[in-house]
Amino acid sequence: MFLTSQTADRSLWRRTAFWLSTAVLVSALSLFVVGISPARAASSDFKIYEGFKTLARVFYEINVRFVEEPDSTEMVHGAVRGMLNTLDPHSSYMTPEEMSEFQQEATGSFTGVGMELSSRDSVLTVVSPIDDTPASRAGIMSGDQIVSIDEKSTKDMTVMEAVKLIRGPKGTAVTIEVYRPSNKRTLSFPLTRDFIPLRSVRSEELSPGIGYIHISNFQGDTANEVEKAVVKLSSKKPMSGLVLDLRNDPGGLLDQSVKVSGLFVGPVMVVETRGRIDDQNMGYSADDQAILPYQCPIVVLVNEGSASASEIVAGALQDYGRALILGARTFGKGSVQSVVRLPDGSGLRLTTARFYTPSGRAIQSDGIVPDVLVPSLLPTKFKVTREVDLDRHLLGPNEVPKKDDEKSQAQAEDEEGEDDGPLLDKPLYEMSLKERLEVDKQLARALELLQNGRVKSRFTGVVLDSFDPAMG
């Protein structure tokens, strides 16, 4: 029996080693395909092979010795996640189901109840309900803590696990139980799932001639929606000013940030990416002519939640002197993620490059520093989280790794600018313009500057060879 078992073990080991050795070969070949030099690839092949030998041995030991028969698919998924967890916080693995969700959201719609979730202190929390959706119509509010979904406890549940339970076919029912800290009550919301359009652009007129456009994220149709908003705001008479609100915009599609920038600066360089391999080193220029006269002043609002694509837009308009940037220092996510679809339908979201503004500024960690600093309305002692606070984040060009007890410059600015203002009892979009201007100091300051003619566009549409964005 021992000899038979040993022979079977060796056979399994050979099959496993062969399979993983093949993976090593494919990996090595891929290095040549993506542009790494043969000499460099050859020098690292041995280390890669040795690493895979260890991985193969662990895979073998688990398959043979674990007390119950393991799920090999889950083991592979776990191994891939483990590799990505050694990289930066924005690289991740998506199962086929998660990949499908990701692609669906990128198109701008899904079926569900319409609320954005996050995990705060390990508690599943509603960031905000999406306007005019089952969640917002039922009365679910920002800050509500989700206790259960269809009577299933959310204790130790991840955001992705919760999303899978909440989403479903249109017309089906789901019950969300929440705890509301503001009045210490537990509430139950029976909801009917519906088609949820992810509306990324909202617009209105702030005062005669002064328009307002808010971009909540950059998805497939964002540039078209911004163009429609500008046309609508200019339909009665030419605009005398525009507030472009990018606050709490976490980013999205790179091409949409380039197109949106082009609506205001025309066909010029908007952003440059630089990575480890040649095909990641490229510049992105807008294709079309600007749709707003260059002399029309623009104020761009940013804050701690403005990241990635929104930082690209703010950085480009700031570099070219096309807009005044107002608010708080941005998040500082200056990296590009490429999505790689794998044969089984799963995917990798892999950080492949850093991006730079037209003047060559790297946004990573530093973020965009506004021309006019106006602190955000935050609860006293509220801890702001930026890129520099994330574990394993990519260092910025001038960043020195800080000790655990050291504070970043951005954190120091936040503490200096703490606001003792009250917490809002309803979201800004539900307030009248008068109410918003009373509590939203950043918006009020932007409108004041535009009304008083204190914002000037320094961009003429022509970029000279000696153009210095810092000087205009």
Q: CATH number of the domain at 191, please.
A: 2.30.42.10
The pLDDT score that the predictor gives to residue 19 is 43
40, 70, 100 - which closes a domain: 70
Does 319 qualify as catalytic in the annotation?
Answer: yes
Per DSSP (E only), the strands in 33-143 are: 92-94, 109-112, 115-120, 123-129
* Annotated active-site residue in 136, 257, 308, 310: 308
**Do 177 and 224 share a domain, yes or no?**
no
The pLDDT score that the predictor gives to residue 179 is 93
**Do 210 and 358 share a domain, yes or no?**
yes
Evaluate whether residue 9 is within a structural domain. yes
**Do 175 and 211 share a domain, yes or no?**
no
What are phi and psi for residue 423, nearest 5 degrees? -70, 140
Task: Look up residue 401 and give its DSSP letter.
Answer: P
**Do 131 and 11 share a domain, yes or no?**
no
Evaluate whether residue 92 is within a structural domain. no
**Do 228 and 155 share a domain, yes or no?**
no
**Do 184 and 297 share a domain, yes or no?**
no
Evaluate whether residue 83 is within a structural domain. no
**Do 440 and 358 share a domain, yes or no?**
yes
Evaluate whether residue 90 is within a structural domain. no
Report which of 359, 367, 353, 357 is spatially closest to residue 398, judged by C-alpha positions.
Answer: 367
Q: How far, in Å, CA of 455 to CA of 372, rounded?
A: 11
Evaluate whether residue 10 is within a structural domain. yes
Helices 72-84 and 38-65: angle between axes, nearest 10 degrees: 140
Task: Return the H-helix or E-strand segment holding 45.
Answer: helix 38-65
163, 197, 231 - which closes a domain: 197
- Total of domains in the chain: 3
The pLDDT score that the predictor gives to residue 28 is 33
What CATH number did the domain enclosing 341 receive?
A: 3.90.226.10
The pLDDT score that the predictor gives to residue 471 is 38
**Do 280 and 377 share a domain, yes or no?**
yes
Q: How far, in Å, CA of 337 to CA of 334, rounded?
A: 10
**Do 314 and 427 share a domain, yes or no?**
yes
Evaluate whether residue 456 is within a structural domain. no
The pLDDT score that the predictor gives to residue 289 is 92
* Annotated active-site residue in 88, 144, 319, 440: 319
Give residues with Cβ within 8 angstroms of 69, minimum separation 6.
none
**Tens-level pLDDT at each residue, the chain (472 residues):** 333 333 334 444 444 444 444 343 333 333 333 344 445 545 566 677 777 888 889 888 998 999 999 998 888 888 888 888 888 888 888 888 888 877 766 665 678 898 878 776 678 888 667 767 899 889 898 778 999 999 999 988 877 788 889 988 889 999 999 998 878 899 999 999 998 777 789 999 999 999 999 998 898 899 999 999 999 999 988 999 999 999 988 888 899 999 999 999 999 999 999 998 888 899 999 998 999 999 999 999 999 889 999 999 999 999 999 999 999 999 899 998 888 999 988 888 899 999 999 999 999 988 999 999 999 877 655 567 788 877 778 887 777 666 655 555 555 555 544 444 445 666 666 678 888 899 999 999 999 999 999 999 999 887 755 555 543 3
Evaluate whether residue 471 is within a structural domain. no
Evaluate whether residue 464 is within a structural domain. no
The pLDDT score that the predictor gives to residue 24 is 37
**Do 48 and 115 share a domain, yes or no?**
no
For residue 180, the enclosing domain spans 109-197
**Do 176 and 58 share a domain, yes or no?**
no
What are phi and psi for residue 31, nearest 5 degrees? -60, -40
Give residues with Cβ within 8 angstroms of 234, minimum separation 6.
211, 292
162, 197, 232 - which closes a domain: 197
* Annotated active-site residue in 333, 335, 346, 440: 333
Give residues with Cβ within 8 angstroms of 430, minimum separation 6.
none
Does 261 qualify as catalytic in the annotation?
Answer: no
User: Is the pTM above the cut of 0.75?
Assistant: no
**Do 48 and 154 share a domain, yes or no?**
no
